[in-house]
Structure formats: C-alpha cells, structure tokens
Amino acid sequence: MTSLKKVLLTATAAAVALSSAHAFEINGRGASFPAPVYKSWATAYYKATGNKVNYTASGSGDGIKSIEKRLVDFAGSDKPLKPKLLRKHKLYMYPAIVGSIVLAYNLPGVADNQLKLSEKAIAAIFSGKAKYWDDAVIVKDNKEVKLPHQPINVCVRADGSGTTFNFTYYLSKIDPADFKPRKKLNWKANVIGGKGNQGVTANIQNNKYSIGYIEYSYKLKSGLPAATVENREHHWVKPTVKSFQDAAKYASWDKKNDFYAVIAYPKGATSYPIVAASFILLDKEKTDTNKKVTAFYDWAFHNGQKIAADLGYVALPEATVKEIKAYWNEKEIAPVK
C-alpha cells in the first residue's frame, strides 16, 4: 500500500470516528397521527447527519404523560396544551406538521371518494343516530350508490388520542348538542376500538360495513377508500393534499402563547374541513437535549418538505417556521450551528 493511500485511509477513519463521537441519539413518543412523517424524517436525518431520532407512536395521551414524567426527550401531541398547563408542567411547545383526518370505510362495491357524507350524516353516524348504511340521512346524497341495509360499524380510538380530540372538536362544530372535544370518550354509536391510527386502520380493513377516522397517510398506506365530505362552506371536498393545503392557509399561530391553536373546521370554499396540527413538547430543564431536538426539526423544516408531501402531510408555512425559530431563540433552545 502506498503512503498516499495510507494517509487517505487514516484521514477517512479519523473523520468517521469524529463524526460518530459527535453524533447523538434522542427518544420521543406520543401522537400516532404524525408518526409516518417523523419516522421518514428520522431515517433521512440519520443518513444526512449520523444523528439518531427514535419515535414511538403511542398516542397523544401517552406522549403528554411521558414528557410530564420526564420519561422521554420529547413528546408528540395532536392536542395542543394551553399556556397555563405548559407553565404548570414546565414545558415548551411548538407545531411541527399539519395533517388531515379522513373518514375511511369498508363498503363492498363503493370506490374511493364515491361515498359523500354531509355534516348531518357524519354527526348521525358518530352519534349513533344513523344505525344502518341505508339511513335516509346518508342515502340523500348518495342516490347513485347502492347502500346496504347493514349495521354501521364505527371504528374509533380506544386510547387517549389527539386525533380523537381534533375529530371531536370538528364534531362539536357541526353537532354541539352531542359532542364536545375530548381525547377519549364514551361513544353512543356501535363502536370498535383500536389503539393508535394503525389500530383503527386495521379494524376498518378487517370489518365489512365499517367507517372510522384516521390520518390521511394511513389511508394512503392501507389503500382504504375515504369519503368526500361537506365542508364549512357547504361545498363537497375530496381529501387531497391540495384541499389540505387550502385549509392550512387559515391556521394562525403565535409564539406569545406557545403556538396554542386548534385549526380544525377552517373557512374556505375549497378547504378540507378536518385538519390538525401536531405539536412537539419539550421539558424546560433539558436545554442541551432540547437543542438536539430542535436541530432535528430545523433540518426537517428545510429538508423534509417533499417527504411530508409524499406522505400526504402539509409542511408548515415559511412564516410559521420563522416564528418557531424565534421562539427557540427566546427560550435558548435553538440548535447550535
């Protein structure tokens, strides 16, 4: 081996060793809603930087409890925590991604987007008032679809869930008499419970004549059909990345109140009506660890937009990312450049 080759090999080995020495590993858990994009970001981030991010989709309720007990480096929650609660548990919070909740179904012979559900039909199904698929409130907007006289199996989350919180927030807007925003509730409909978005997806797949609420990326991965729905402006809207983007334009966050906002049920003629932001929770004491978490999300904000779009998510607007970075600076948890 020539001396030049020895020098090059030594230099390469030294660079790898140095990179490994400075690489870090962080652990998060919580919301299943954003899990597909977080895991895809983590894979790409590891390839780009050597830093490892582990994320377990355990549900928003578990994520909140885990960060409150300081069991993880960061938590994901689709239910935003009010500033008063953040102060009580000494937490920081900022949004990371926007996604959507779709009504996926298992109806033999009914294709994707073919089923049309009005606000009244959605409220009737999830309140248990519409017990069969051929109920008049559903048939009214589906004259060309052969709906069976079969009981509606309603698939819901069994665990404390930010997806459930955002969905019931939406339901409370269209049917305030029967619904209030909750992470977990006792449904009056004939329900089948599942853990995580993945559990609800599996239950829809495995039960004919079922319908349930899941995040859009789980619909894409499973191939389940999803309903065209009536939006706030009483237009029919299909679940598409474009209609999610149109809805996300109406979101407004302010770093002064730790970005607290529920963005479901937005305005707009072309807006999809059931959208949600997913948030990151950090504990105030771990400044150095928080800088590693923000380094990951800083990378994702700038390099992960295509990954997010391919999975059916909507990246945060540039102005919101700028606000988040200002928030990090104020809290002294901005990543070291």
Alpha carbons within 13 A on the beta-carbon side of 76 = 28
- Measuring CA to CA, which residue among 319, 326, 213 is closest to residue 276? 213
Residue-wise pLDDT for 23-54, tens only, equals 999 999 999 999 999 999 999 999 999 999 99
Instruction: Name the residue type at position 210.
Output: S
Per DSSP, 255 falls in state G
Report how far apart the first and last C-alpha atoms of the chain are (Å, whole number).
39
Looking at the structure, give the CATH architecture of the domain made up of residues 101-246: 3-Layer(aba) Sandwich (3.40)
**The pLDDT of residue 300 is above 90:** yes
**The pLDDT of residue 226 is above 90:** yes
**The pLDDT of residue 5 is above 80:** no
Residue-wise pLDDT for 264-287, tens only, equals 999 999 999 999 999 999 999 999
CA angle 151, 133, 139 (to 5 degrees): 160
Instruction: Name the residue type at position 293.
Output: V
pTM of the entire structure? 0.87
Edge to edge, the sheet with strand 74-77 lists: 52-57, 25-30, 74-77, 275-283, 91-106, 210-215, 153-157, 191-194
CA 86 to mean position of chain CA atoms: 20
CA angle 95, 97, 98 (to 5 degrees): 110
Residue-wise pLDDT for 227-240, tens only, equals 999 999 999 999 99
For the domain 24-98+249-264+276-331, what is the CATH code? 3.40.190.10
Domain ranges of the chain: 24-98+249-264+276-331, 101-246
Per DSSP, 194 falls in state E
The reply to whether 101-246 shares the fold of 24-98+249-264+276-331 is: yes
pLDDT confidence of 337, banded at 50, 70, 90? confident
